Chain A
């Protein structure tokens, strides 16, 4: 990858979505929404893996191409970069409960690339980033409400 291409790369994120045993209900809605994000140029999917952890903690990893019927995911599968290594599978599966299945998604935030690139050109360096869970916002609001009622 050239320096120019690297400079234009958006932030890369990952998520692990766990489906506890018996709790999965796949209707195709997730795939539709993912494809919408890709089609809109919001994200680029870099890698996908499906992990299963049995009751003894043994991990199995499946490639997207191992699925019997990929359907509309065929387009995404053809463009995967296979970023994750064997070590990553073990590290990601550490978050899973025994008996569960999880989808791992790695993506580039194309929507953020121009801003990130501009920040780098301005001399900025990313020193922290993260996500604020909705539950944390709720906790903060509730703490505010509590302190206000105590002051009444």
Chain B
């Protein structure tokens, strides 16, 4: 299925070959649901919970 003519010969907007996001790929790999981790992450991003240390 060819691209529409308007897409041919134009300068692209992405600019470079895209690399697969390894971390995200790991996160969506089929397997048991990481329930415990989900709870931990949810707690980490809960408003008002600060975890910065100096």
Contacts and interface: CB of A to CB of B under 8 A. Distances in A.
A22 to B, nearest CB: 11
Contacts of B4: 63, 82
A144 B51 contact: yes
A87 B27 contact: no
A1 interface: no
Interface in A129-146: 133-138, 140-141, 144
A87 B14 contact: yes
Interface in B1-52: 1, 3-4, 6-21, 23-24, 26-27, 30, 34, 37, 40-41, 44-45, 51
Contacts of B3: 61, 63, 86, 89
Contacts of B12: 84-88, 91
A31 to B, nearest CB: 19
Interface residues of B, number: 31
Nearest to B10: A85
A94 interface: yes
Interface of B: 1, 3-4, 6-21, 23-24, 26-27, 30, 34, 37, 40-41, 44-45, 51
Interface of A: 14, 16, 18, 23, 60-63, 66, 82-92, 94-97, 133-138, 140-141, 144
25 contacts: A16-B18, A18-B20, A60-B1, A61-B3, A62-B1, A63-B4, A82-B6, A85-B7, A85-B8, A85-B12, A86-B3, A87-B10, A87-B14, A88-B12, A88-B14, A90-B17, A91-B16, A91-B17, A92-B18, A94-B17, A96-B20, A133-B21, A134-B41, A135-B23, A138-B34
